[in-house]
């Protein structure tokens, strides 16, 4: 390493890469992929919500998580800013 | 007994074809009768890297379809005895590669006494790549020290473990080897590139070799010669070490440390 490098101490990009990959790979290994029905279910839930409130296509976020004990669905619905107040 | 080795990676452009050509040549140079197959139907390249592009008459798909015989289709290498190349088809579409067809060709190679069949996989995780890895006994996962290559290698490892014939039959798993290519120790030392430890810990696969970034690879491909035959090149020696390890020898890693510079170099490098 050159003398000049001692005076610039940015975080090293290689360690950022490693951290990002650790997360990604852990995610890729999470008990295989999410179930096939997820996208369709997401669409159906949006349709149900639309009977009551006008929401955008990305209003419903679904996360699937598989742990040793159980499988979990995390559902986030955002109703848009207008309705908030 | 013939052993089927797939050279795969998920990502394109990481060095699969370079590696297939050198590993096959190195095995044959050691006296093992070896065939290297180009599975990249539609984008044939191995013939160029092996320098036999003008000798292609029939191809893999002709052979599968029974339009040519094995001895008409295999190209015998002019430099290395015991080395044969099976070129991909340039024109047919990928659906022509069927499991039955590939199995038939592999069986024929086996009965012709081939000890090693090296399968050069296309990029991606679709039909061609699946076909290249399906019958594998061993896999060489070619990975560059770079985020997208590492992620794709992890994906292809998952596929090897679930969709290869060995996985489907529920027998012994495919033996996996990690080959890191285009490694630049100087950039690693500066913290600009993932290190050998980073990559092998992330993928948790046994390391079979590290091929340094080398200008000789391009020059060898310009000349249509597998780089392993440029014997004084670092890349060639690193490939030779990797083959020795593949065959069970112990060899220390080389070309993985920065060459020590003089005082001036250290101050201003
Ligand atoms: N060790 C290396 N050093 C420098 N360049 C390399 C090295 N290995 C491969 N390359 C270059 O990378 C490019 C892609 O290589 P190739 O073997 O065709 O990859 P793939 O078959 O995975 O698509 C080629 O231009 C090749 O010359
Ligand atoms: Mg290739």
pLDDT tens-digit series, residues B128-186: 999 999 999 999 999 999 999 999 999 999 999 999 999 999 989 999 999 999 999 99
Whole-angstrom CA distances from B85 to A50, B13, B49, B59, B90 are: 61, 21, 11, 10, 15
Nearest-neighbour CA in chain A from B251: distance (Å) = 27
d(CA B220, CA B215): 9
Band of pLDDT at residue A31, cut at 50, 70 and 90? low
Whole-angstrom CA distances from A36 to A33, A64, B249 are: 8, 11, 45
Q: Which of A1, A2, A20 sits opposite B147 (nearest CB)?
A: A20
φ, ψ of residue B67 to 5 degrees: the values are -85, -10
Q: Is the pLDDT of residue B269 over 70?
A: no
d(CA B9, CA B148): 11
- Answer whether A12 sits within 8 Å of B195, measured CB to CB: no
Question: Among candidates B199, B260, B210, B257, which has minimal Cα distance to B237?
Answer: B210
Long-range CB pairs of B161-165, under 8 A, 24+ apart, other chains included: B163/B130, B163/B133, B163/B134, B164/B133, B164/B134, B164/B135, B164/B136, B165/B134, B165/B135, B165/B136
Band of pLDDT at residue B228, cut at 50, 70 and 90? very high
Structure-model confidence comparison of residues B41 and A3, the more confident one: B41
Q: Which atom of ligand 1 is nearest to the CA of B218?
A: 27
d(CA B122, CA B97): 13
d(CA B146, CA B258): 19
Give me the pLDDT at residue A84, please: 46
What's CA B94's distance to the chain center, in Å? Answer: 20
Q: Which of B191, B202, B268 sits opposite A12 (nearest CB)?
A: B191
- Answer whether A21 sits within 8 Å of B202, measured CB to CB: yes
d(CA B140, CA B14): 12
Band of pLDDT at residue A20, cut at 50, 70 and 90? very high
Place of tokens 């690879």: B217
pLDDT tens-digit series, residues B136-146: 999 999 999 99
**Diameter of chain B measured on Cα atoms:** 66
Report the phi/psi class of residue B132: left, alpha or beta, with left for phi > 0 and alpha for psi in -120 to 50: alpha
B13's tokens: 């452009």
Mutation target to probe the B interface, by most B beta carbons within 10 A, among A3, A7, A17 is A17
Centroid of ligand 1 to alpha carbon of B217 (angstroms): 7
Report helix, strand or coil for B180: strand
d(CA B26, CA B14): 20
In chain B, DSSP assigns E strands to 3-8, 34-38, 75-76, 83-86, 116-120, 138-143, 175-183, 207-212
Give me the pLDDT at residue A77, please: 86
Give me the pLDDT at residue B25, please: 98
Whole-angstrom CA distances from B104 to A20, B6, B63, B136, B158 are: 43, 17, 9, 14, 26
Residues with CB under 6 Å of ligand 1 are: B 9, 12-18, 123, 181-182, 211, 213-214, 217-218, 221, 235
Overall size of chain B counted in residues: 269
pTM over 0.90: no
Contact A25, B151 (CB under 8 A): yes
- Answer whether A2 sits within 8 Å of B188, measured CB to CB: no
Question: Among candidates B19, B64, B77, B12, which has minimal Cα distance to B221?
Answer: B19
- Answer whether A14 sits within 8 Å of B193, measured CB to CB: yes
A3-17, B42-56, B97-111: segment of lowest average pLDDT: A3-17
């Amino acid at each position: 390493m050159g003398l000049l490098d001692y005076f610039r101490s940015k975080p090293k990009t290689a360690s950022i890469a490693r951290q990002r990959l650790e997360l990604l790979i852990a995610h890729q290994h999470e008990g295989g992929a999410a179930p096939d029905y997820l996208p369709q279910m997401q669409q159906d839930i949006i349709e149900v919500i639309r009977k009551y409130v006008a929401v955008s296509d990305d209003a419903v976020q679904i996360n699937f998580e598989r742990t040793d004990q159980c499988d979990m669905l995390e559902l986030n619905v955002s109703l848009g800013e207008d309705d908030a107040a | 007994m013939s052993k089927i080795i797939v050279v795969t990676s998920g990502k394109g452009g990481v060095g699969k074809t370079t590696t297939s050509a050198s590993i096959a040549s190195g095995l044959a140079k050691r006296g093992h009768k070896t065939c290297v197959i180009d599975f990249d139907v539609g984008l044939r390249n191995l013939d160029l890297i092996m320098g036999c592009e003008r000798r292609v008459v029939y191809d893999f798909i002709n052979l599968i379809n029974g339009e040519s015989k094995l001895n008409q289709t295999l190209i015998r290498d002019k430099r290395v005895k015991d080395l044969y190349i099976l070129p991909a088809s340039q024109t047919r579409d990928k659906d022509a590669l069927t499991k039955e067809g590939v199995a038939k060709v592999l069986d024929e190679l086996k009965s012709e006494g081939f000890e090693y069949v090296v399968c050069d996989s296309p990029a991606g995780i679709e039909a061609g790549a699946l076909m290249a890895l399906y019958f594998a006994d061993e896999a060489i996962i070619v990975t560059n020290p770079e985020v997208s290559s590492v992620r794709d290698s992890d994906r292809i490892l998952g596929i090897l473990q679930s969709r290869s014939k060995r996985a489907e039959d529920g027998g012994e798993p495919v033996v996996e080897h990690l080959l890191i290519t285009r490694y630049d120790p100087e950039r690693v030392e500066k913290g600009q590139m993932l290190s050998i430890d980073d990559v092998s810990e992330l993928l948790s696969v046994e390391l079979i070799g590290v091929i340094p970034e080398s200008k000789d690879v391009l020059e060898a491909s310009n000349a249509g010669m597998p780089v392993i035959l440029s014997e004084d090149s670092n890349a060639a020696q690193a490939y030779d070490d990797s083959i020795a390890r593949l065959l069970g020898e112990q060899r220390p890693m080389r070309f993985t440390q920065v060459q020590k510079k003089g005082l001036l170099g250290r101050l201003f490098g």
